[in-house]
Amino acid sequence: MYIALQFVAAIALLAALHVSVMALLGRALGIAIREVSFGMGPTLLAVGAFRLRALPLGGSVVFKDTLAQTPSGDAADTGAADAFDHQPRAVRVLLPLCGIAALAAVAFALHPGSAGASLANGFVQIVSGGLAPLSIAQQLINGATRVASLGFLPLLGMLAAKCAALNLLPLASMGGGQALLALLDPAPRETPPWKAWLLQASVWLLLALALSWAVAIGLFVTGR
């Protein structure tokens, strides 16, 4: 139980850092913020744009976006200057990556000698564990619990690297995919069918990956 609480606390802390860095940088750049959520699921506390949610295992920042306000994404919106989709390409690329950079900074601060390899291996581990929840995922979870037995800071550094890798996955719903889309998309203020399909497919892939890992963790905890 103590190790499980360490995992939850570490993930909650890293998620809060990720979300806070994105929100603060976005606000510093003059981008309007619609919502800042710490956690997932039902809302426990709402104060202005701030939301505290029941499950402390994630978070999100919702910036003003004219595409979300008008069906056609009409650029004539009088308040478009502070909308995310009207920012320069460099801002639209770098802002989704700044929270990930904060996670990587934590990983390198706590594990300067191994953070790079841990982050690089994270891509393969996340996908391969999701594809094999009964074998590879079990080995990875077992290794993570051994790190947790060394203390909270070693676990925090390891999870920071893995969370950075997760968020860098080229899925449109993740920071890495959002940055890639902003870099390559010739029409950022339009939502053609291919983009809508890509966003929807990304969400389903992420849900499938999360469900597979949830099964793996459940089986590990129950000892089956």
How far is residue 41 from each of residues 1, 51, 107, 111, 209, measured CA to CA in Å? 23, 10, 27, 32, 18
Q: What is the H or E stretch that residue 62 is in?
A: strand 50-63
For residue 72, the model assigns a pLDDT of 43
For residue 159, the model assigns a pLDDT of 96
For residue 2, the model assigns a pLDDT of 83
For residue 172, the model assigns a pLDDT of 85
**Centroid of chain to Cα 56:** 13
Contacts of 124 (CB under 8 A, 6+ apart): none
d(C-alpha 129, C-alpha 135), whole Å: 8
Greatest Cα pair distance in the chain: 58
For residue 169, the model assigns a pLDDT of 93
For residue 85, the model assigns a pLDDT of 86
d(C-alpha 19, C-alpha 11), whole Å: 12
Helix (H, G, I), strand (E, B) or coil at 40: strand
Q: pLDDT tens track of the chain, all 224 residues? A: 788 899 999 999 999 999 999 999 999 999 999 999 999 999 999 999 999 999 988 899 999 988 765 444 444 445 688 999 889 999 999 999 999 999 999 999 999 999 999 999 999 999 999 999 999 999 999 999 999 999 999 999 999 999 999 999 998 889 999 999 888 876 666 777 877 888 889 999 999 999 999 999 999 988 86
pTM, to two decimals: 0.88
Return the domain boundaries, the chain: 2-222
For residue 74, the model assigns a pLDDT of 45
d(C-alpha 112, C-alpha 159), whole Å: 14
Residues 44 and 12: beta-carbon distance below 8 Å: no
